[in-house]
Amino acid sequence: MLIKRRNFIQLGSLATGSMMVPDFLKAFEKPLSVPAGNKVVVVIQLSGGNDGLNTVIPLRNDLYYRQRPKLGIMKENALSITDDAGLHPSLTALRELHDSGSLGILSSVGYPNPDRSHFRSMDIWHSASSSREYLDTGWLGRYLDAQCKPGDRPTLAMEIDDVLSLALKGNQMKGLAFRDPKRLYGNSQEKYFKDLGVAHKITGEEAPVDYLYKTMAETLSSADYIFQQSKLHPTRQSYPATSLGQNLKTIASLIFSEINTKVYYVSLGSFDTHFAQEVQQKRLFTELNDAVKSFTDDLKANNRFDDVLLFTFSEFGRRVSQNASGGTDHGTANNMFFIGGGLKQKGLINELPDLSDLQDGDLKYKVDFRDVYATVLHKWLDADDAAIIGKKSNYLAFL
């Protein structure tokens, strides 16, 4: 290594440093081949508290129609999947997926002592904590901590967004957030930051400034790597021009590349339908439906449908009864969709919510969401779920 004599200014005390190439940069020198059948998870977060009862409609439940005289979706309008259950009219592609055995629906998912604040409940879902503890890390972030060895590429989990969610923040590792590989690359091309990175000497004392330089270097090299990968096999499928459509398109192109990513994360919202729910939910479900349709068609055409598990969640469901403004207020337990070619249970995985057994007008949860996470971590991502969730969970049978 060439060390030039430079004009340094020393401020305050002397920090001695040794020149070294950190492990995370070495990672980019290694060739990498993605094993066939690389299992991938795509999480779609429905932000704002999606109304689960108007998503999977209990078609033969009088209690439902009695509590929702205006807002209830009539049987003839719903897309029925069984005698008792129908999907929201906008979810046509999800019905097709159901009919071809690629959709699973888990009802009454939640946690004890539910919190009705968006932020707090989302915190709980992201961190996989109980409602009585506060964790600084997310379940996927801790998955990164558990999976990543020194020298691994830091692209194992990525969020298609400008801001990284708590879910993807670990103690040691964090996922990457970006909206568009090309823009990410463009933003990382500032020569000044590259020069700074080259000039900085890591002290090896775990000083915060070293952590910042390490993160900066990782970001710049990852940006490069992600952009190159996104150009390898860009999808030719057409996607809707919506934000979710474009985000799933980005994800598809990366899935078809040789990137090592196991988890992709996207959000859609806001499902906080206190007013005029019909219009708002319809608009968002149309966006969801059309984007998922393009995405699943794309995966099938490229023979990757069996390797991808897509699931949706929301921070809470909504109250059983409608409110006076054509909407619904914050509730508790909710349903989740699972989509993919590798499902072991299809259609309705468990019973629809029991509307005759409510807690202060809210659904009681039957399945702990941490059991869902544990199932995905253990059975799909082959990870140590107990270490990540912090307790032993009951695995579900859908995977």
Cβ atoms of 162 and 177 within 8 Å: the answer is yes
CB of residue 360 to another protein, shortest distance in Å: 12
Neighbours of 380 (CB within 10 A): 19
Element (H, E) at 157: strand 157-160
Place of tokens 């032993």: 392
Which of 359, 256, 265 lies closest to 298, judged by CA? 256
CB of residue 205 to another protein, shortest distance in Å: 8
CA 120/CA 139 separation, integer angstroms: 15
Nearer to another protein, 102 or 137 (CB): 137
Place of tokens 């959000």: 267
In one letter, which amino acid is 36? A
The number of residues in the chain equals 399
Nearer to another protein, 267 or 375 (CB): 267
Which of 340, 345, 363, 275 lies closest to 70, judged by CA? 275
CB of residue 145 to another protein, shortest distance in Å: 13
Which residues of this protein are in contact with another protein, per CB under 8 A? 6-13, 15, 47-49, 117-120, 123, 132, 134, 136, 161-166, 169, 174-179, 183, 187-188, 192-193, 195-196, 199-201, 207-209, 211-213, 215-216, 218-219, 222, 267, 269-276, 280, 324-325
CB of residue 199 to another protein, shortest distance in Å: 5
CB of residue 10 to another protein, shortest distance in Å: 6
Nearer to another protein, 123 or 290 (CB): 123
Nearer to another protein, 35 or 208 (CB): 208
CB of residue 373 to another protein, shortest distance in Å: 20
Place of tokens 């259609």: 347
CA 256/CA 259 separation, integer angstroms: 8
Nearer to another protein, 137 or 375 (CB): 137
Nearer to another protein, 75 or 391 (CB): 391
Cα 382 to the center of its chain, rounded Å = 18
CB of residue 116 to another protein, shortest distance in Å: 10
Nearer to another protein, 273 or 296 (CB): 273
CB of residue 272 to another protein, shortest distance in Å: 3
CB of residue 390 to another protein, shortest distance in Å: 14
Place of tokens 């150009």: 231
Cβ atoms of 137 and 171 within 8 Å: the answer is yes
Nearer to another protein, 175 or 331 (CB): 175
In one letter, which amino acid is 194? K
| Token couple for 74 | 């009539």
Neighbours of 2 (CB within 10 A): 3
Cβ atoms of 182 and 231 within 8 Å: the answer is no
Nearer to another protein, 157 or 377 (CB): 157
Helices 243-255, 277-301: axis angle to 10 degrees equals: 20
Nearer to another protein, 120 or 366 (CB): 120
- Residues pairing with 106 in the sheet: 336
CA 243/CA 148 separation, integer angstroms: 30
CA 133/CA 316 separation, integer angstroms: 18
CB of residue 330 to another protein, shortest distance in Å: 10
